[in-house]
Homo-oligomer: A and B are copies of this chain.
Amino acid sequence: MTQKQVVVIGAGFGGLTVARSVRHADVVLIDRTNHHLFQPLLYQVATAALSPGDIAWPLRTVFRSQSNVRVMMDEVSSIDRAGRMVHLKESPPIGFDILVVAPGARHAYFGHDEWEPFAPGIKDMTDAVRLREKMLLVFEETERRRATTDRQDGLTFVIVGGGPTGVELAGALAEIGGKVLSKDFPSLPPDALSIILVEAGPRILSGFDASLSTKAAHALVRMGVTIKLSSPVSAIQDNGVMVGTEWIPSENIIWAAGNKASPLLKTLSVPQDSSGRIIVRPDLTIPDDPWIFVIGDAAHCPGKDGKPLPGVAPVAIQQGRYVANLINRGTVPAQRSPFIYKDRGMLATIGRAQAIAQFGPLHVSGLVAWLIWCFVHIFFLIGLRNRVRVMLEWVWYYFTFKPGAALLFPRRSASPDKPSSTDNSRT
């Protein structure tokens, strides 16, 4: 018999794991970019602690030695279940025997998409580099203004969402404010910078045990972050955000709340949940189609507690392994045992030597948790090169507080009236 054709959509943690684990079948891995992105560290690119190249890995080199995998840089426009075809933006359609759908998610604004331009989020490298550009430019501009004029106004960052991303961003910004600004921007003392973390719920990091949430909150406050709990956002404009009944003026608002699964999933025409995820069956397939799998952030898959599993790397990776096994063994639906997520624990970092970790009953915080966090993240990075680079950057930053990736490049294409505007896009 001829080899089965497996098409994998998306090279995130889930899709990458499938493509690396499938044997004895031809795999076509499709992604809009040419690299795998280590999303958990994306906020460090956004805060200039790491360079894009440190947490991204070219797919072609990842699969160089795996001859059954073909990498395609293209975007899937729709999935034709009946015809067993995926339609692409730039190439002819590709047929499949088995399809793995892992397109991930984007940030969502609870029906207020008009907020996006004023409160960007960070889901991919484009977002992260844009945010870094904005942060560095506003530092430079404020320094220039305070140094050359008598306007001594400060700088306020508002981060919406007290989940891991929001907390890690707030911590990283506070670190820059406390340690970098004062050294590098003489006219911009730390007290000129205020960082406000806004959470609609009663506590931050609600996925963690309450005691750890409290520890994290205390650590953030010690670093100078203002935390506003039970404070839903009701309006965002270019010059500020309405939090509860309070208007906070700020031109630097970052969105770290809410996800929406890829619009591509609609073309499967099967039931989706409120945030656009496909409600998958216990074997991660879609209804009535045992060889179309949906995994990662795109899948609504209930955990032990009945609540859908969180959109984190370990879930996507374990789902990828599970699906790859079914494919490798050709297990028919009747013989499939349901996917069960093994929760190996949760980690969140707040800043330098500050983190919380929860392994079932075991709770750890402070330096030890931070070291565990560093180790785990280094370990899960793909490839020796990136591990060494990231470790080097962290050690370097830990001792010097010199962010190596704080780069702004000139935009020559800028309009003549704003010639020294920069293009941080380029970094």
Contacts from A to B (Cβ < 8 Å): 32-35, 51-54, 56, 58, 60-61, 64, 70, 72-75, 89-92, 124-126, 129-130, 136, 140, 144, 147-149, 183-186, 384-386, 388-389, 392-393, 396, 402-412, 418-420, 422-423, 425-427
Q: Do A92 and B148 contact each other (CB < 8 Å), given the known contacts A64-B402, A407-B58, A425-B425? A: yes
Contact present for A409 and B64 (CB under 8 Å)? no
Contact present for B426 and A89 (CB under 8 Å)? no
Contact present for B410 and A124 (CB under 8 Å)? yes
Q: With A and B bound together, what is the CA distance between A65 and B385 in angstroms?
A: 31
Q: Do A184 and B61 contact each other (CB < 8 Å), given the known contacts A33-B408, A53-B427, A126-B411? A: yes
A10 to chain B: closest CB distance in Å? 12
Contact present for B392 and A90 (CB under 8 Å)? no
Give A63's nearest chain B residue, CB to CB.
B184
A365 to chain B: closest CB distance in Å? 30
A52 contact from B130, B422, B426, Cβ within 8 A: B426
Q: A73-B420, A74-B144, A74-B420 are in contact. List 9 more A-B contacts (CB 8 A).
A: A33-B422, A34-B406, A34-B408, A51-B51, A60-B185, A73-B408, A126-B410, A126-B412, A129-B427
Residues of B within 8 A of A129 (CB): 409, 426-427
Contact present for A60 and B184 (CB under 8 Å)? yes
Most buried by B among A56, A72, A130: A56
Residues of B within 8 A of A35 (CB): 406-408
Q: Do A125 and B64 contact each other (CB < 8 Å), given the known contacts A33-B422, A392-B385? A: no
Residues of B within 8 A of A186 (CB): 70
Q: Do A53 and B402 contact each other (CB < 8 Å), given the known contacts A33-B410, A92-B148? A: no
Contact present for A140 and B73 (CB under 8 Å)? yes
Contact present for B126 and A407 (CB under 8 Å)? no
Contact present for B144 and A61 (CB under 8 Å)? no
Can you give 14 A-B contacts (C-beta < 8 A)?
A32-B410, A33-B422, A34-B407, A34-B408, A35-B406, A51-B51, A52-B427, A64-B402, A74-B420, A75-B419, A126-B410, A129-B427, A388-B392, A425-B426
A78 to chain B: closest CB distance in Å? 13
A137 to chain B: closest CB distance in Å? 9
Residues of B within 8 A of A405 (CB): 53
Residues of B within 8 A of A64 (CB): 183-184, 402
Contact present for A126 and B34 (CB under 8 Å)? no
Residues of B within 8 A of A427 (CB): 52-53, 125, 129, 426-427
